[in-house]
Chain A
Amino acid sequence: MKELIKNLTETYGPSGSETRVRQLIEEEVRALSDQVRVDSMGNLMALKKGDGSGRKVMLAAHMDEIGVIVTHVDQKGFLRFGAVGGLRPLVLIGSRVLFANGVTGTIGVEKLDSPNKVPPLDKLYIDVGAVSKDALSVGVGDAACFVRPFVDQGNRLTAKAFDDRIGCAILIQTLRTLIDTPHDVYFVFTVQEEVGLRGARTSAYGVDPDVGIAVDVTTTGDTPEAHPMAVSLGNGPAIKVKDSGMLTHPGVKNLLIDTAERLGLPYQIEVLERGTTDGYAMQVSRAGVPTGVISIATRYVHTPSEMIDYNDVLNSVKLLAGLLSNLIELA
């Protein structure tokens, strides 16, 4: 599974430019699914049919990652940019970004009036090594994402875009391991989560599921002087209770907890103070969908180097596959 994770994280895919990630995933899921389709927003939906005795379940993980988009090219060929998703200038300076056509840029910063203060985004620029404006092969409207190789540190893995390629990997691996299920399971790989859960909103409308489960990353409280949070790397899949967009349906939350207990899997409970996931969009789709979220504890979210624990990933696959193998009764 590490090979899959490496390929997914190293692929280019800022919000709105998910084509390559989608192609990669489509190759993985096509042979394993009964039906695959791409909707008008670009969401990839792979259906594994049940035996008719179960429910319609939608699993969602988003394909897109945060990035930058060029808004202006100056006379010397430096690029000004806007944020695609939640970018913090603090982690940008000195970072490298990659455009769809393979051009790499370095993020630089103007001379600052107050060097000790974090500069706003409009003081930063991208330097693609241009010697003049004319020779550029990137321009206004082109999006770029971080460049970083996947690093396997044993139990711990570091890469860009674990948010949410690790969710995509977990969905793919679940589909690989799921032999029989009573449910019609829609494995939905969504677009544009980072700019407002947009793909999940339209795909949830399209699928119209009975139950929804999103798989995404969450922050942790296990680093030096971190904001207090009872989520740590390696403590198991995090079962969400609340974030800033949703309160988890208690029936789905209990189903996740009961399944973990039944299978003897470690798990932890997540309360996220800031941020939300595709689960929010699914929950409020149409007349409402009972929805839960499995989160992967992730350090340094929205930086070029996010870190996770591999056992959390493996246990999340077991949890999902276990849940989908049985009938679902929501209390």
Chain B
Amino acid sequence: MLLERLSNAFGPSGCEEEVRDIILDAIKDDIDEHRVDALGNLIALRKARGSSLKGFPRRVMVAAHMDEVGLMITHIEKEGWLRFARVGGVDARVLLAKAVVIGDKRVPGVIGIKPIHLMREDERTKMPRIEDLYIDTGSSDRSQAEKLVKVGDYAVFSTRFAAVKESPLRAVKGKAFDDRVGCAVLAELLKQDYAFDLYATFTTQEEVGLRGAQVAAYAVDPDVAFALEGTICDDMPRKRDVSPGTRMGQGPAITIMDRSVIVDKRLVKLLLQSADKLEIPHQFKQSVTGGTDAGAIHLAREGIPAAVVSVPSRYIHSPVCMLSLSDLEHTVTLMDEALHRLEGGLPE
């Protein structure tokens, strides 16, 4: 499964080569042209096929970001411990006692923590600070560690993808579903024929500020755009009757507004019409937090109508996320139908 290969790949923001190679290999037979721009975005074009259009839209951009959150080595202590900074939004609490891989040589490491036996009461309830954490590569001093890693190397969680056996929701677990699941959906869409030029844009550096999408949207200059995401799912049991963000297993999530974009109302309508026609389960993203590539894309040049469709993913930005393969498949179906409807233009 492509999602498995993508999830296992090493690809923090600014270091997306491995992910890009996997994607290009997967889509090469379905595209007419591709290029990699200065920021590392993979811009793949599947030209219009079949019946001609009314004239709008001629170019449609669908974006998914290749990068994941990670760490970067900032300093090697004389004892060989590696200090690090965050690349993108990582919660310090999820880092403790986690296995990571570092740098081009994919050196294994462990983020250390004091054993519970030695912890004082107050240490157990205290939030750790990033600057107090370190990665242990099993080296005994700086010179040994420097043979394995160097300052500036990236690290990501070393989680391996797996199916959650017997899961009624057909759940899978792995790292970086934000946004490798979007990449997987986008690769599927490239197998379909549409009456407009489809620019499948696999972007870089989303997690550090939608940077790849900003320049890619300028270059592609599309008439309409979509961002595909693996989004916040906060549907755990709770006492308060408040928003779950999204719910896993309830279908693709359509965004109305987040921190980065207010979605074009015509595109929300298009997505809802598509879901209704094929009776695809779907939901709204019930939170206005988070930003997506659509935030950068819709502000390119004179402005571009843009929407966001997401696969609900639990525990994103942590070492292990979970999503439902049914949600993934429904997202492909919804997007395929929406793109076909778009051949007739935007709804009023």
> Which chain A residues lie closer than 8 Å to B288 at the CB level?
69, 71, 82-84
Complex alpha-carbon distance, A84 and B261, angstroms: 11
Is A176 part of the contact surface with B, judged by Cβ < 8 Å?
no
The answer to whether A202 and B303 touch across the interface, beta carbons within 8 angstroms, is yes
Complex alpha-carbon distance, A72 and B286, angstroms: 6
What count of chain B residues pass the 8 Å CB interface test? 22
Is A198 part of the contact surface with B, judged by Cβ < 8 Å?
yes
> Which chain A residues lie closer than 8 Å to B144 at the CB level?
none
A141-B284, A201-B299, A202-B301 known; A72-B242 Cβ under 8 A: yes
Q: Which of B256, B299, B303 contacts A69 (CB 8 A)?
A: B256
B233-259 CB contact bits vs A (8 Å, 1 = yes)?
000000001111000000000001100
B289-303 CB contact bits vs A (8 Å, 1 = yes)?
100000000110111
The answer to whether B302 and A202 touch across the interface, beta carbons within 8 angstroms, is yes
Is B328 part of the contact surface with A, judged by Cβ < 8 Å?
no
Q: Which of A72, A84, A205 contacts B243 (CB 8 A)?
A: A72
Is B69 part of the contact surface with A, judged by Cβ < 8 Å?
no
> Which chain A residues lie closer than 8 Å to B256 at the CB level?
69, 140-141
A73-86 CB contact bits vs B (8 Å, 1 = yes)?
01110001011100
Beta-carbon nearest neighbor of B244 in chain A: A72
Complex alpha-carbon distance, A203 and B299, angstroms: 10
The answer to whether A39 and B287 touch across the interface, beta carbons within 8 angstroms, is no
Q: Which of A84, A122, A202 contacts B242 (CB 8 A)?
A: A122
Most chain A beta-carbon neighbours within 10 Å: one of B243, B262, B305: B262
Is B321 part of the contact surface with A, judged by Cβ < 8 Å?
no
Is A91 part of the contact surface with B, judged by Cβ < 8 Å?
no
> Which chain B residues lie closer than 8 Å to A76 at the CB level?
241
Is A114 part of the contact surface with B, judged by Cβ < 8 Å?
no
Q: Which of A15, A40, A72 contacts B302 (CB 8 A)?
A: A40
Is B304 part of the contact surface with A, judged by Cβ < 8 Å?
yes
B213 vs chain A, min Cβ distance (A): 15
Complex alpha-carbon distance, A140 and B304, angstroms: 24
Beta-carbon nearest neighbor of A14 in chain B: B262
The answer to whether B301 and A205 touch across the interface, beta carbons within 8 angstroms, is yes
B80-124 CB contact bits vs A (8 Å, 1 = yes)?
000000000000000000000000000000000000000000000
A16-B262, A40-B305, A195-B262 known; A140-B286 Cβ under 8 A: yes
Complex alpha-carbon distance, A192 and B244, angstroms: 26
> Which chain B residues lie closer than 8 Å to A40 at the CB level?
264, 302-305
The answer to whether B257 and A202 touch across the interface, beta carbons within 8 angstroms, is no
What count of chain A residues pass the 8 Å CB interface test? 29
Beta-carbon nearest neighbor of A207 in chain B: B302
Is A250 part of the contact surface with B, judged by Cβ < 8 Å?
no
Grouping DSSP codes into helix (H, G, I), strand (E, B) and loop, the A interface class, with mixed when no group exceeds half, is: mixed
Complex alpha-carbon distance, A206 and B241, angstroms: 45
A72-B243, A195-B262 known; A84-B257 Cβ under 8 A: yes
Query: Would you list which residues of chain A between 75 and 107 have a CB under 8 Å from chain B?
Result: 75-76, 80, 82-84
The answer to whether A74 and B241 touch across the interface, beta carbons within 8 angstroms, is yes
Is A41 part of the contact surface with B, judged by Cβ < 8 Å?
yes
A71-B286, A122-B242 known; A205-B302 Cβ under 8 A: yes
Beta-carbon nearest neighbor of B257 in chain A: A69
Query: Would you list which residues of chain A between 105 and 161 have a CB under 8 Å from chain B?
Result: 122, 140-141, 143
Complex alpha-carbon distance, A43 and B286, angstroms: 27
> Which chain A residues lie closer than 8 Å to B264 at the CB level?
40
Query: Would you list which residues of chain B between 250 and 290 have a CB under 8 Å from chain A?
Result: 256-257, 262, 264-265, 268, 284, 286-289
The answer to whether A74 and B302 touch across the interface, beta carbons within 8 angstroms, is no
Complex alpha-carbon distance, A74 and B286, angstroms: 12
The answer to whether B243 and A39 touch across the interface, beta carbons within 8 angstroms, is no
The answer to whether B302 and A39 touch across the interface, beta carbons within 8 angstroms, is yes
Query: Would you list which residues of chain A between 191 and 210 have a CB under 8 Å from chain B?
Result: 192, 195, 198-199, 201-203, 205-206
The answer to whether B299 and A202 touch across the interface, beta carbons within 8 angstroms, is yes
> Which chain B residues lie closer than 8 Å to A141 at the CB level?
256-257, 268, 284
Complex alpha-carbon distance, A250 and B268, angstroms: 44
A35-60 CB contact bits vs B (8 Å, 1 = yes)?
00001110100000000000000000
8 contacts across the A-B interface (CB closer than 8 A): A39-B303, A40-B302, A40-B305, A43-B303, A71-B288, A72-B244, A74-B241, A75-B241
New A-B pairs, 14, CB < 8 Å, besides A82-B289, A202-B303: A16-B257, A16-B262, A39-B303, A40-B303, A41-B302, A69-B257, A74-B241, A140-B284, A141-B256, A141-B268, A198-B298, A202-B299, A206-B301, A206-B303
3 pairs of A and B residues whose beta carbons are closest in the complex: A202-B303, A16-B262, A82-B288
